[in-house]
Amino acid sequence: MNRDYFRRMVDGGPLILGSTVVLGNNKNECPENWILEHSDHIKSMQRSYRDAGCDIICTLTSGANRYRLQAFGLASQTAQVNRELMLRCVDVQTGTIVFATCSTTGLSVEPFGDLTFEDAVRCFKEQGTSLAENGAAGFVIENMRCIQEARAALIALREIGDYPVIVHLILESDNRTAGETDALSALLTLQSLGADAVGFSTTLDNENLCAVISEIKQFAAIPLFAYPSAKGLAPDEYVASVKKLVDAGVNLIGGGDCVTTDHIGAIAGTIHRSAFIRPVVKSVSAVTSAKKTVLLGGNRPFAVVGERINPTGKKNLQANLREGSLDIVRQFALEQTMRRASILDINMGLSGIDEMSMMLRAVNLLSTVTHLPLCIDTTKPDVVEAALRCYPGRAIVNSVSGEKERIEQTLPVAARYGAMFIGLPLTDAGIPSTVKERINVVDTIMSAASSYGCTVDDMAVDGLVMTVSSNPSAAIDTLDLIKWCSGTLHSNTIVGLSNVSFGMPERHWINGAFLGMAMGCGLTMAISNPSSDGIMATVQAYNCLRGFDYEMLLEKGRYSEFAK
């Protein structure tokens, strides 16, 4: 099955997934061996799920990755074990749709633990390849508790072929995963990375699961999935509970705790292919870290991208980086986080250092020292790719210009990893002098981006402000471009604020006035130094005047308050 086919299936109405529950094996025994020994029993359970109305049957392969099998001395036979499990699953050949399950390695993945990200990807690719070769129509990455391990598995399975991949995470009682990722950040991260459905189960009740789904539905570009529990519920009570989830926006129902064929039969008879809500958006203007979402746009709080992690003009930082130390990077990250920057720019472009290795070290470090999402600032496409691949969230790339190399190399990388990007209206011929020409470059970048599946929500246009000291119309030209982006293109906009006052006295006042003017024209983001009281007070005041009580809303997690 390919991804388009799966989407069409889900667009036909709520679907039911049948997961087999294994009971009775001794914990010290290899579960996969136990499953193989009891394959007749399991096959008959799978048949009964299918006959009760499940659209997709899930395999019992979730523990069969090499790190799990290692405990039973079977790591070297990973491919063989997965093959055996697939071959003894319910008749793959006879029209039953079988999705193979994968789950955690049991190890903690970089930057949160010791297993390197690429080792994790390799592990899931090894397992996934065997599953696909032996009849899996798609995959369910299930029972994940860490967004980064889920990302590794998703990237691995994406790279195997055009198979649909569903990702399922377990939320603890605070509605975050054990790795502290909230449901919205998980959804945005995974859907932009190419998941075909994202879903959750919670340690709390189905009512709580319903609230989580309602909250995130407005940001879903893909079908949502839930594993409602049937604990203590008779089949008709289970139907009522599942119906609420469908009404909240669930498109796929998986068998949770205590679900029997009677429960499946009951929901198949009522909810199956009943009225439902489709995914509501194509893409969302937002960046995420493993712990936080920052929503962007004209109807959201203004976002300050902290500019300080950039060695340009900073002697101390340069010397520190040349010694191979990230101490000052860490310090700048903490200071800018305290000053309430929304996003942190990271630029490691400095002669005499290995930009690739320093960028990766910085991204890994900052993923653990700050909750702020990152802006990857580099001209090198291979550095962009390496950074986006290992970043445990959805970053923004700084930047994609109209230059041939950026369009042909950086843009497809940003699109493949689902990142947002800053569109810079300049070309190989330089910076266009008129607003009209800049608009043409923005159009060129956007149409190339569309061909890779991006939407205007994925882009922030750089106003490319030059200093007024050399061109008196520089500020006005940039404001005109911002107005067009805001009013006609409906894209985010960003400026490097201090550029406007370069070479002038009393720069703070000029920067502050320009920020206010640009906000009035619809500016949504600025790259700036959040140490400036003037800038940060203007931003706070703007958020207040626009009616965004930013901290209060985000702390309570009522994302819906920001809905258009």
Q: Which of 203, 312, 325, 473 binds ligand THG (CB under 6 A)?
A: 312
Residue 99 pairs with which residues in a beta bridge? 58, 138
CB of 546 to ligand THG, least distance (A): 23
Q: Which is nearer to ligand THG, 96 or 401 (CB)?
A: 401
Q: How far is the CB of 309 from ligand THG (least distance, A)?
A: 9
Residue 529 in contact with ligand THG, rule: CB under 6 A:
yes
Least distance (Å) from ligand THG to the CB of residue 531? 7
Please pick, from the candidates 229, 399, 410, 493, the single residue that binds ligand THG as defined by CB under 6 A. 399
Question: Hunting for tokens 């299918």 — which residue is that?
Answer: 50
At closest approach, how far in Å is the CB of 297 from ligand THG?
A: 18
Instruction: Work out which of 122, 272, 314, 546 binds ligand THG, going by CB under 6 A.
Output: 314
Select the residue whose beta carbon is closest to ligand THG and give its number: 496
Among 104, 202, 367, 498, binds ligand THG (CB under 6 A): 498
User: Is 380 buried (19+), middle (13-18) or exposed (0-12) by CB count in 10 A?
Assistant: middle
Q: Can you tell me which residue has the tokens 């600032």?
A: 377
Distance (Å, whole) CA 127 – CA 70: 13
CB of 371 to ligand THG, least distance (A): 22
Dihedral angle sign, alpha carbons of residues 187, 189, 191, 192: positive
- Contact letters (x/-) for ligand THG, 439-478, by CB under 6 A? -----------------------x----------------
Judged by CB under 6 A, the stretch of 90-98, 246-254, 267-275, 309-317 that binds ligand THG is 309-317
The one segment of 70-78, 241-249, 256-264, 496-504 that binds ligand THG by CB under 6 A: 496-504
Strands (E), 384-524: 396-401, 420-424, 459-462, 492-496
Does 306 sit near ligand THG (CB under 6 A)?
no
Count of residues of this chain found to bind ligand THG when the rule CB under 6 A is applied: 16
Query: To which H or E segment does residue 377 belong?
Result: strand 374-377
Q: Is 398 in the site for ligand THG (CB under 6 A)?
A: yes
The count of C-alpha atoms lying within 13 angstroms of the C-alpha of 70, restricted to the half-sphere facing its C-beta, is 8
Nearer to ligand THG, 458 or 462 (CB): 462
Interface stretch with ligand THG, choices 209-217, 262-270, 492-500, 541-549 (CB under 6 A):
492-500
3-class DSSP state of 37: helix
The closest of 374, 370, 369, 371 to 359, measured between CA atoms, is 374
Question: Taking Cα atoms as reference points, which of 27, 5, 113, 16 lies closest to residue 56?
Answer: 16
Contact between 496 and ligand THG per CB under 6 A: yes
Query: Per CB under 6 A, does 65 bind ligand THG?
Result: no
Supply the DSSP string of 183-243, one letter for each residue: HHHHHHHHHHTT-SEEEEEESS-HHHHHHHHHHHHTT-SS-EEE----TT--HHHHHHHHH
User: Is residue 547 a contact point for ligand THG (CB under 6 A)?
Assistant: no
Q: What is the C-alpha radius of gyration for the chain, rounded to an integer number of angstroms? A: 25
Which span (242-250, 308-316, 426-434, 443-451) binds ligand THG, by CB under 6 A? 308-316
Instruction: Output the smallest distance, CB 554 to ligand THG, in A.
Output: 25
> Within positions 358 to 397, which residues make up the interface with ligand THG, using CB under 6 A?
377
Shortest distance in whole angstroms from residue 406 CB to ligand THG? 12
Told to check if 308 binds ligand THG by CB under 6 A, we report yes
- Judged by beta carbon, residue 338 or residue 544, the one nearer ligand THG is 338
Query: Which residues contact residue 80 at a Cβ distance below 8 angstroms, ignoring those fewer than 6 apart?
Result: 130
Q: What are the backbone angles phi and psi of residue 495, rounded to the nearest 5°?
A: -135, 150
Which among 524, 535, 529 has a CA at the least distance from the CA of 294?
A: 524
Of 424, 485, 421, 447, the residue nearest 285 (C-alpha): 421
Interaction site with ligand THG (CB under 6 A): 307-308, 310, 312-314, 377, 398-399, 422, 462, 496, 498-499, 527, 529
